Amino acid sequence: MERRRVSAAVEAAHHEHLKTLSFEDTTDFEDADRGFLAALAPCVITAADGRVVWDNDSYGFLAGGAPTSVHPALWRQSQLAAKQGLYEVVEGIYQVRGFDISNITFVEGDSGVIVIDPLISTEVAAAALALYREHRGGQRPVTAVIYTHSHVDHFGGVLGVTSQAEVDAGRVVVIAPEGFIDHVVAENVYAGTAMLRRASYMYGTTLERGPYGQVGCGLGQNTSTGEVGVIVPTVTISQTGESRVVDGVQIEFQMAPGSEAPAEMHFYFPQFRALCMAENATHTQHNLLTLRGALVRDPRAWAGYLTEAIDTFAGRADVVFASHHWPTWGTERIAEYLALQRDLYAYLHDQTLRLLNQGYTGVEIAEQFRLPPALERAWHARGYYGSVSHNVKAVYQRYLGWFDGNPARLWPHPPEALATRYTAAMGGVDRVVELATEAFCDGDFRWAATLLDHAVFTDPDHAGARRVYADTLEQLAYGSENATWRNFFLSGATELRTGVFGTAGQVTSMTLLSQLSPEQLFDSLAIRVDGPRAWDLQVALDVSFADSGLSYRLSVRNGVLVHRKALPDPASADATVTAATKLALLGALLGSGTLEISGDRSAWTKLREVLDTADPGFNIVTP
């Protein structure tokens, strides 16, 4: 891997950070080590075919002081997040940390164990359960699984701790907040290809590990890359204050929809005096709009749920834990920790609204925005994963959208057309590269990146532009406290030098797709219709599923696929398609498997011919 010397401007900034931030405070390290029982050695987890899906040992380089190529606060955060093994939260509650970007938690019940958030993939969840059983649980059976929310790192590994057969037999209950499956589909299927391609940048999954490469992602170290599954919940939680006894353990629930995830909940264990905050109170400033893409989150509601949790649970809790990072112990510390997290999201929301109502745009607000001193000093409020800059812009977007109100910015040219005009106005690509090189030497990497973006979108093969652009993004990475920004910068530099690396991991798995309802399946087809190619297509298909007996009418007109459960006159259909199962229909759409078709068979062919295929390797840093 090509290395560039860390610029003097970045080194000077890091030197100031070392002087101004409270690195002498080691409380987080003490908390992260508390309750340690055992580590996995080596901490390398493989799939059945031998492919490595998780390698925590690759972060061994994090020992010692921060190099100048990494922001010292980010280095500190990565050292904490890289700690791995089985930990006791309190007697009866155990976490395995460092096996994925998220934590898996085991709560001991009367006859078995309740699993909270089984990581991203089957292999790492199974390894975590094995470590727990080796040092604590013996062959204690899994009796329940709780999904705190609808992001894949909190459900994807469920098949590593239980099976659909166990759930169907009633031996395991699966508990989730209301709306869980709908939001799982919306995030992981509807826009899954684009999100996962961007996630490869955000998490730096393909980057080399090391002080000049990926050092973590702030919320954890990385995402595992094994089999992703899901089991549909058997118990849905829909109301705050709802209380259930699961395997002899009482659980009190608090709904938190529209916070860090659209379907999310917190819960409290009275007998353990332990509070689980899902992902709404972690040891970092979180995202209001994640860089991989998502719906903009509601910081006002988020802060409100934290206030409610403080008032409802904090005074009764001896420990608060979450699905990322390490716990916090002590009633007073818990109240202050949750209050600071609450103040963080409330301040981002309220002050952005104050300034936008004074006429400032999102970019302008982000440049001038400063957190209060108490939040600046709190390690857990710093921007390793989310950032003040992109969170403020997210709040602006939530209320006012992408347009900042300036009519000159209402209808700009797209990037390639804009780039050629800017480059011509500045005297051609060579002159733009010359100006960018001057900015680079002056330490103005943001301006250099802007210039070189135009240069590369004018002439993608210009070797000098690509070289200086990659060098510029690298310096921006070295200076970034935010891990996801660092990974974006380094990923862009990598693709400029070596070409598009595509998407790490699967966009969707058949296990996940098999859980789609027929309506969700047809919705996922509708967004694949190539509108212009289908403008003149008019077809009507009746689709029936033999296993469920359900039937639907699919119709295409004006480039739109519409589905109805109530069938019109069957005689009006061009063809009738019968699939044994949803998976059979999916297989046929992917080119494998057979269907029973009566009527005009060409109607089915015509529909398949206008379905587009998503591109998991689309360009990002080049046109």
Domains delineated in the chain: 8-381 (3.60.15.30), 410-480+493-498 (1.25.40.880), 516-610 (3.30.1050.10)
pLDDT tens-place string over residues 410-439: 999 999 999 999 999 999 999 999 999 999
Contact between 223 and 100 under an 8 Å Cβ cutoff? The reply is yes
The whole-number pLDDT of residue 520 equals: 87
pLDDT tens-place string over residues 264-315: 999 999 999 999 999 999 999 999 999 999 889 999 999 999 999 999 999 9
How many Å apart are CA 38 and CA 58, to the nearest integer? 19
The whole-number pLDDT of residue 569 equals: 82
Residue 456 has pLDDT above 70, yes or no: yes
How many Å apart are CA 229 and CA 226, to the nearest integer? 10
Cis peptide before 72 (omega within 30 of 0): no
pLDDT tens-place string over residues 524-567: 899 999 999 999 999 999 999 999 989 999 999 999 999 998 67
The better pLDDT of the pair 504, 575 is held by 575
Q: State how far the alpha carbon of 209 is from the alpha carbons of 89, 109, 212, in Å.
A: 30, 39, 8
Please report which helix (H) or strand (E) contains residue 426, including its range.
none
Q: Give 506's pLDDT tier (boundaries 50, 70, 90).
A: low
The whole-number pLDDT of residue 524 equals: 87
How many Å apart are CA 72 and CA 88, to the nearest integer? 29
The whole-number pLDDT of residue 587 equals: 85
Residue 579 has pLDDT above 60, yes or no: yes
The least confident of 106-110, 252-256, 498-502 is: 498-502
Q: State how far the alpha carbon of 71 is from the alpha carbons of 34, 81, 216, in Å.
A: 26, 15, 12
The whole-number pLDDT of residue 507 equals: 52
- Kindly report the backbone phi and psi dihedral angles of residue 192, in degrees, each rounded to the nearest multiple of 5, phi listed first: -60, -40
Residue 4 has pLDDT above 90, yes or no: no
HSE (side-chain half, CA atoms, 13 Å) at 80: 28
Q: Which of 119, 132, 110 is nearest to 38 (CA)?
A: 132
- At 46, list the tokens: 């493989």
- Looking at 265-378, list the stretches that DSSP marks H as alpha helix, in order from N- to C-terminal side: 299-312, 331-356, 362-368, 373-377
b/e burial code for range 205-226 (CB count within 10 A of at least 16 → b)? bbbebbbbbbbbbbbbbbbbbb
Q: Give 2's pLDDT tier (boundaries 50, 70, 90).
A: low
Q: Output the CA torsion sign for 257, 262, 162, 101.
A: negative
The least confident of 145-154, 298-307, 508-517, 608-617 is: 508-517
Mean pLDDT across the chain: 95
Give, rounded to a whole angstrom, the gap between the first and last alpha carbons of the chain. 24
The whole-number pLDDT of residue 3 equals: 61
Q: What is the pTM of this model?
A: 0.95
User: Under DSSP, is residue 430 helix (H, G, I), strand (E, B) or coil?
Assistant: helix
Contact between 85 and 223 under an 8 Å Cβ cutoff? The reply is no
Beta strand spans in 418-479 (E): none
How many Å apart are CA 309 and CA 322, to the nearest integer? 13
The whole-number pLDDT of residue 505 equals: 67
The better pLDDT of the pair 587, 304 is held by 304
